[in-house]
Structure formats: C-alpha cells, structure tokens
Chains A and B, each alone.
Chain A
Amino acid sequence: MTDAWIPLLLTLKVAGWATALNLVFGVGTGWLLARRRFPGRDLLDALLTLPMVMPPTVLGYYLLVLLGRHGPLGRWLQATFGIQLIFTWQGAVIAATVVAFPLVFKAARAAFESVDPQLERAARVLGLREWAVFLRVTLPLAWRGILAGLLLAFARATGEFGATLMVAGSIPGKTQTLSVAVYEAVQAGQDSVADFLVLVTSVTCIAVLLAAGRLVPGRVANPS
C-alpha cells in the first residue's frame, strides 16, 4: 500500500509546478487581454481557451509533435540544453500546465476586468508608475478571483490523464501520476490499489474545490 504514496507525491509535484507556471503565464496573459487593446485580441483569446474544449489526447498529440525528438522545439531543446521532455515528469508538468492554463487565464482575465479602471487612474494621477499601479491596486483587488482560478487549475492538473499519458507515458515511480496509476491498477486487476488511489484523488479534489468555493463569492475585496 505504501507504493500508492509514490504516485500521489508525484502528482502533487506535477500539479504544483503546473500551477506555479500558470500563475506566471495565466495571470500575465489574463492581465494583457483584460487591459490592453491590440489587433488579433479575440483570436488570441480563442486560441488560449482552446485547451479547455479540446480532448486532452489531442493536446497531448500536439505536444508530442512539438516537443518530441523530431519536433521543432524538442530538437532545439535537445541540441541546445540536452533536455529531453518526452517520458519525463517535466513533460507531465508541461502537459498539465497546458491543460489547466485556460482555468487560470479565464479567471485572471475576469478578475482584472472586474477592477474599476477609474481606481487605476486614481493611482496614476497620485504619481504611481504602471507596475506600482498593478501591485498596489489591480492585483490586491483581483487576487481572490485569481486564487480561485489557481485552485481549480491545481485540481484539474491533479486529475490530468490524457495529455499526460501521451507526453510522459506511464513509468511507475517516474511519470506515473495518480490518475494514470488508477487506470493501470484497474487494467491489472489490482482493485484494492485502485480503491485507495481513487479515494486519495477524490479527497484531494474535494478539498481543493471547497477552498476555491470559499474564494469565489465576493470576488472584489470586501473587507467587512
């Protein structure tokens, strides 16, 4: 039974990294689309939302083509840094990041759009530079919505199956995450292992959703 902790820890590591990466990219693009006008904005929004509606196996296939030994990015990474992402836990991080990205991006965009631009103007006229306006006004008023998105992304990354299997495979102790381990256990007829893994996964996801639910209402900071 102790073997079940290995996929759990791996899953938490992968989901943690995927969430951290989405904190940077999801929040950045969310802000960009909420506050800047540029040509192709709607198209970019659609493209960035795509991972939410596409089958994870299709995303996994795209990543495989892109990052694989013969893919443009994969070849470059191999030649320049000697990095090989396919069939590694880092590859699983990339897969989970892409799949969970729209959840953070959408939540961040909505959160930033809910911040009254008048408040940002008020900060500017009081002498603040743009990054100070962001750190002192925009972010404090949007962080609840962003955090809710991050928690959803963490839950989504925890349950990721299709794209992860395509990109990272199912190497026990190395790339075999919880959801993949459940599949393998059922295939191998190890029902007690599957039961335990399913329980752990369910509890993790419920805990994360409860935490997210607490953050969503009253998205704008309402101190009282």
Chain B
Amino acid sequence: MNAAVWDVDVARRLQHGERRFELDVRFVSDRRQVVLFGPSGAGKSQTLQLVAGFAAPDRGRVRVGVRTLVDTATGTHVPARDRRLGYVFQDYALFPHLTVAQNIAFGLDTGWRNPSRAQDHPRVRHWLQNFDLAPLAHLHPEQLSGGQRQRTALARALAPGPAALLLDEPFAALDTALRARLRDELADLLADLSLPMVLITHDDADVRRLGQAVFTLGDGRVLPAS
C-alpha cells in the first residue's frame, strides 16, 4: 500500500452574522494531484486556507506526506510561514509595489527588506525564463495581462522550492483559450517537478486535465463518490 500524500480531516464552524457554516472535510489520497471540485460556497476555499494555515481548524489534522502541519489531537500547529507551501491565489495577490522579478524573489529571503530591483538571483532568472516572463521582469503587476499575472503568481509560489502547491481557482480569471493552454503548462510542470498539489475549482476541464484524485464538495462536506 502506498503512503498517503494528502491526509486532510478538518472541521471548523464559521459564523458570519446570521449565517452559519459548518465545514467538515475529509479526504485521503495516495495520488499527488488532488482536485477539490464543487460550486462556490461549498467550502473549497475554506478547506484550502486551513491546509495553508491562514486559519486553524476547530478539530482535525492536515498531513502532507510525512509532515504533520496541524493536529488538534496533539496540539501541533505549524504556522503558515513554516509550512513550505506554495499558494496561488484566485486573484493572484501579487504585490503591487514590486516588479515581476521582485515578486518572484519575494520568498527567497524572508528578512525585513524586499528584494532590490537589481537583484539577479539564479532561481528568479530560472523562473523568468521558464515562464517567458524575462522581458517583463521590471514591470509592475498592473501592467501585465491576466495570463502573465497568473504565471508570475505561480513562479513566485515555486521559487522558494515548496513541498507542495495549493491552487485556488488558478484559471478562473482567464479567457477560455488561455485557460486551456495554461492548464496544459501546469500539468507538464507538476509532472516535471513531481510536486504534490491541491487545486480547487468549479470547472470540469480542470478536473479532467489535472485531477489524479477528485473529491466533490457540497455544503461543507466531501460528497460520496458516485
């Protein structure tokens, strides 16, 4: 039997004024590429945020390979900064005050100063080349097209060499043709790097192209496979 790559079992109660939402998501997979599929409001984003460590579960655990990131039973809670996860946000969340190259270099040095405009780190160069971003290295995010932003966000997440990748609807903001191309690029990249990932989406095409294991979420729970 293969060891599980992803072992997630998290519960959290959320209260937004009158609205209450109970999240209780459980999935175990020995495949690297997991897709969480479901309509908006199903709890996909919440689940991904608990895996990333932006919030703590009321109860449960998250394991990636042999690493335990959070486990309420043993009181383990690794802070987000120490989880070594690459996170690609739905709106990319690129730093607007930094250039493309500075954005990609951001996680390489975790000290108190931002990377300089003149920095020329080999890993930054590598990802600029790899994603055809080199001519754009000194532009700011607002000057980029949607696809270029998406690649910058992905490069920024990959540059520090994360142990796994979390992707929050990474293609949702793009038009259909571009979406298909970037989806192919991501699939190749993940295969090259043998990098575990969890991708959340409400797009069937993402599931078909990227999901080695697929879990469907509805109303805060994983629905039984049909």
Contact = CB atoms under 8 A, between A and B. Distances in A.
A127 B96 contact: no
B135 interface: no
Main SS of the interface on chain A?
helix
A125 B84 CA distance: 7
A137 B93 CA distance: 11
Nearest to B92: A122
A30 to B, nearest CB: 19
B28 interface: no
Contact of B107 (A118, A126, A135, A224): A126
Given A118-B89, A132-B111, A136-B112, A125 B81 contact: yes
A128 B110 contact: yes
Contacts of B107: 126-128
Contacts of B93: 116, 118-119, 121-122
A143 to B, nearest CB: 10
A224 B160 contact: no
B215 to A, nearest CB: 22
Interface string A210-224: 000000000011111
A137 B95 contact: yes
Given A122-B95, A125-B80, A220-B96, A136 B113 contact: yes
A128 B106 CA distance: 9
B197 to A, nearest CB: 14
A135 B97 CA distance: 13
A118 B91 CA distance: 9
A156 to B, nearest CB: 29
B112 A125 contact: no
Nearest to A126: B107
B133 interface: no
A140 interface: yes
B54 interface: yes
Given A221-B96, A223-B140, A125 B87 contact: yes
A131 B157 CA distance: 21
7 contacts: A119-B96, A123-B106, A126-B156, A127-B84, A135-B113, A137-B95, A222-B96
Interface of B: 52-54, 79-87, 89, 91, 93, 95-97, 106-107, 110-114, 140, 142-143, 156-157, 160
Given A122-B93, A125-B81, A141-B97, 5 more contacts: A118-B89, A122-B95, A125-B80, A126-B106, A127-B81
Q: Which 9 A-B pairs have the closest CB atoms?
A: A126-B107, A122-B93, A221-B97, A127-B110, A125-B87, A118-B93, A124-B80, A140-B97, A127-B81
